[in-house]
Amino acid sequence: MPINTGAQTRIYIGPRLNADLPADHAAAVTLLSALTYVEIGFVESIGDYGDTINDVSFAALASGRAQHLKGLADAGSSELSIGFDAGDAGQLKLVEAFLDRSRYDYPIKVVYVDDGGIDYFAAKVMSNKKTGISVEGVLKRTVTLGINSEVYEVIEP
């Protein structure tokens, strides 16, 4: 499959989850794919996201060599740069999620145009800032998603 740009990639937010995602990968994907999502309008960029596994090292005296083990997996956080639109349904949903102090996450769906690829994950909206305030700048909303699940990569035919 050839490489491509990110043009026409879309990101969506779903309704607040009312339970943790199932531990089973297939069950989590089934649940996430069945939800109704709202597109977040005017997204300019989506920051990096995906698991990094912490390095847990151990040095035994006898061997004199470090051993590396895999520790916690952390999908981190992703920053969205968005052209501010106070009436956009997806942006309003992001604000709602930001104000929500419940323990439950919001499902996120990223759809890539070229290969049918979709990423799903559960996140909390951790920041909601207005940026780009200048005479010739586009007023923007910068939102940070704190990702609390693995990133489920799905290729649809």
The per-residue pLDDT for 114 is: 75
State how far the Cα of 91 lies from the Cα of 86, in Å rounded to an integer. 7
> Which fold would CATH assign to domain 10-155?
Factor Xa Inhibitor (4.10.410)
Where along the chain do its domains lie?
10-155
51, 39, 112: which is closest to 77 by C-alpha? 51
The per-residue pLDDT for 91 is: 98
Q: Walk along the chain (157 residues) and give the pLDDT tens digit of each residue.
A: 578 888 899 999 999 999 999 999 999 999 999 999 999 999 999 999 999 999 999 999 999 999 999 999 999 999 999 999 999 999 999 999 999 999 999 999 999 987 779 999 999 999 999 998 999 999 999 999 999 999 999 987 6
Is residue 91 a contact partner of residue 139, using CB atoms and an 8 Å limit?
Answer: no
- Total-model pTM: 0.92
